Amino acid sequence: MVLKYELGEEYANKLDSLDPLKDTRNRFYLNKDEIYMDGNSLGLMSKDAEKTLLRVMDEWKNFGINGWSKAEIPWIYYPEELGKLQAALVGARQDEVIIHSSTTVNLHSLVSTFFQPSGKRNKILMDSLTFPSDRYAIESQLKLKGLDPNEYLVIVESKDEKTIDEDEIVNNMSEEIALIMLPSVLYRSGQLLDMEYLTKEAHKRGIIIGFDCCHSVGAIPHKLSEWGVDFAFWCNYKYVNNGPGGAASMYINSCHFDKEPGLAGWYGYFKEKQFDLSNNFESANNVGGWQIGTSHILSMAPLEGSLKMFNEIGIERIREKSLNLTGYLMYLIDNELYKYGFKIGTPRENNKRGGHVALEHEEAIRINEALKDLGIVPDFRYPNIIRLAPVALYVSYKEVWKVVSVIKEVMDKEIYKNYSNKRGVIA
């Protein structure tokens, strides 16, 4: 449903009354004195996630070590079973998704597997706006192979420091590129890259391509298997609401199951023989072979409840509301905030926008701090971006309207001038 937006509180109330997902917010713990717009950094706790976490804690309490075999979902199979639940969310086969470790550890594991420089095809292609941790990992992987990142890492630069030109990425897919690693959504501007197009172009040239999907999983639909994406990884504590530092996920296309994991560990062993504890590694014949260490069971438990909720509601419905919320937010910014010097750094087109809006202002640090003290929870990204994420599952249209109203108040009364222009340790 494409909405024709209007100004005023009454219109926001009308949108909420018509919202088919308006009741899902009741499944989350919301602070009545806050409007939470930071779900693209850390999603809120749901009652569904709490329920499964408490159940698993109870299993630990009652079963001890026997929870590995006697729990409702035996812990030994927990990563695979949760992977099956998440597969539909990302458009993958059930044996192509596993819940494991953290995003950067998973990236190291994937790159160590898929980056196999040979002859003149010995470079990695990235973009200049990717999340820095990904770049750190890629550079260290190059160094481990004795390759200087200054020579063997090809960076596609941004022309505006906000977005990346996808055709420019394709233009850099030379015969020297062995691996491409890109974000699905840029973490600052919220630009959504065309993963299908980029994968197709990479494969035309015989290049392996993977995506960091941290800012897209749980906010937009994916078709990773259909698109032929070689690998992907993502955290689950943002839009998927798995809790701070919750276990991450990785996807590997089934066509690569014959490859040997670059970083092997006992938990990637063929399940039926895992406890034989043989000195000869035998990888599981699915994405589970890329697990390294023992599963973080308590860190995974909230994800079970969250994924069941996602599958119940449907990612397509979540995406529709997300687009309407961010579209409404941008409409209000255009009509209410531009006179104060605000600009939108996020692409306007629905097919190029993730789940958050990048609001730009030269006083972004101080405005961000003022908003927090006035009951709005946004976040700041250097040098001048306030990120606002109206998450479809728990943010209302009335709250979006209220956020813009509070920003107007901050500017009209110059409240932001009461704050330092120096960001805190955590932005």
Q: Is 346 annotated as a binding residue?
A: no
b/e map 294-322, b = 16+ CB within 10 Å: ebbbebbbbbbbbbbbbeebebeebbbbb
Q: Is 132 annotated as a binding residue?
A: yes
Q: Is 133 annotated as a binding residue?
A: yes
Radius of gyration (C-alpha) of the chain in whole angstroms: 22
Residues 71/73/248/263 CA torsion (nearest 10 deg): 80
Q: Is 79 annotated as a binding residue?
A: no
Q: Is 134 annotated as a binding residue?
A: yes
Q: Is 294 annotated as a binding residue?
A: yes
Q: Is 257 annotated as a binding residue?
A: no
Contact 379, 38 (CB under 8 A): yes
Q: Is 131 annotated as a binding residue?
A: yes
d(C-alpha 392, C-alpha 96), whole Å: 27
Supply 403's token pair. 């956020």
Q: In 10 A of CB 266, how many CB atoms? A: 14
Which residue(s) pair with 252 in the sheet? 231
d(C-alpha 222, C-alpha 406), whole Å: 35
Helices (H), 145-268: 149-152, 166-171, 195-204, 224-227
Contact 408, 337 (CB under 8 A): yes
Q: Is 52 annotated as a binding residue?
A: no
Q: Is 113 annotated as a binding residue?
A: no
Q: Is 212 annotated as a binding residue?
A: yes
Which residue in 263, 281, 261, 264 sits closest to 273, CA to CA? 281
Q: What is the DSSP letter of 293?
A: S
E-only strand ranges, 92-220: 97-99, 123-127, 153-156, 177-183, 208-212
- Map residue 381 onto helix, strand or coil: strand
In 3-state terms, the chain is what percent helix, strand and coil (to 5)?
Answer: 45, 15, 40
Q: Which residues are annotated as a binding site for pyridoxal 5'-phosphate?
A: 103-104, 131-134, 212, 215, 237, 266, 294
Q: Which residues are annotated as a binding site?
A: 103-104, 131-134, 212, 215, 237, 266, 294
